[in-house]
Structure 1
Amino acid sequence: MDCLEQLKDCLKYEELASRYHNTVPIIVYQESDVQEINQTCDIHNEKFTIYCKKYKCFCCSSCIVETHIECQKIAKLADILQNTKSSNAFYEIEHLLAELIDNIRRIRESRQINLRRLSEKKNQIEQEIKQTRNTINNHLDILQDDIIKKLQAAEEEESKQIGILLTLLTEKENEITEYHRKLEKKSPIFPRT
């Protein structure tokens, strides 16, 4: 018969295995689906219903009567398989939960890195804005100083020109006033007052 249970100590069970079982290499057992391993007794052609804990093997009802009648550590195969299935299901759930925890940890770390990078990028952009503003302010200050200097130069030039004109006008006015006075003195038409 083919066992669904792995032999823990090959030397200890070798004789028993050769008498009552057809052994399956462990790699085949690990890679196979339980459905693929024979679930009936090769000797009696009956379905396995009992598990002998003493010899760690599956037995049909005829095997119990013929070879395991004195074994006191036997259990229903359905109970053993249920525990195995539950144990496997528990292991799978435990494994899935461990993977889930690992995924959550990696996502959390990734989001924390994103937060740090976001803060660093914001600070970098703020610095660039301040630097650009300082550059613009410096440029505007230079333009303002240049315009003020040109304005002062234009005002000084205009003031100078107006000053020259006023001086000329004053001289002309004085000249004309002098001519007018002279004319008044010599002219019989205009009486003196």
Structure 2
Amino acid sequence: MYLGEIVDIERGITSAKIPAIRALHIICFGSEGENYKRRRALRNFAGFSWGIESQEHKEHLELVSKELTAADLTAICGILNLSYDGSTEEVAKRICDFLASPTEITNDEEDRESEDEWSSLVSTQSRIERNGGENREGRSCFSLTFRDVEDSIRPLSGNDDYPVSRWINDFEGIASLTNWTDLQMLLFAKRSLTGLAKLFVQSQSGVKT
């Protein structure tokens, strides 16, 4: 699978800053590459030509650990939607192992939580429809899927060019216009996160609002 075929990674490649793109290019291709070609090359990267148990993989991992800083590796994890927990060596191995054969990665716990929230959302909205289209606060409400509102919500990756305070204001403005319930706000907000922002929320336990 090409990196550009994975939605979250495609977004990460598009929005990441040049130092992070340069560092990822070094891992994938062994060089910094030309500035205007890096992102395209990364989108077309489909994995190393060696396996993770090979000597080449071990040597490449050693090179990455020496050449890149912890900050570089953290930024790369943001692009690839990987956890940045652990030592520099552990993070470097996680990145290299993933890049040996890129695939869509999902967080099982996060998926289960999202499924539970969706089930609760569907149940709540079914009850609303039976009660004549009003929620418990007496406001009119209608069924929405994330696909219905996805284009209206700008994703938050954690990059400095879109401050979280502005994202919250924009998001709450849309939520107010559409009369979303608290559950809808929680679910749609979490599904709008990418990169480091998504990793940060996944690292927090008990996020219910």
| TM-score tier (shorter) | under 0.3
Larger Rg: 1
Structure 1 or 2: larger helix share?
1
Q: Given the two structures, how large is their TM-score scaled by the length of structure 1?
A: 0.26
Structure 1 or 2: larger strand share?
1
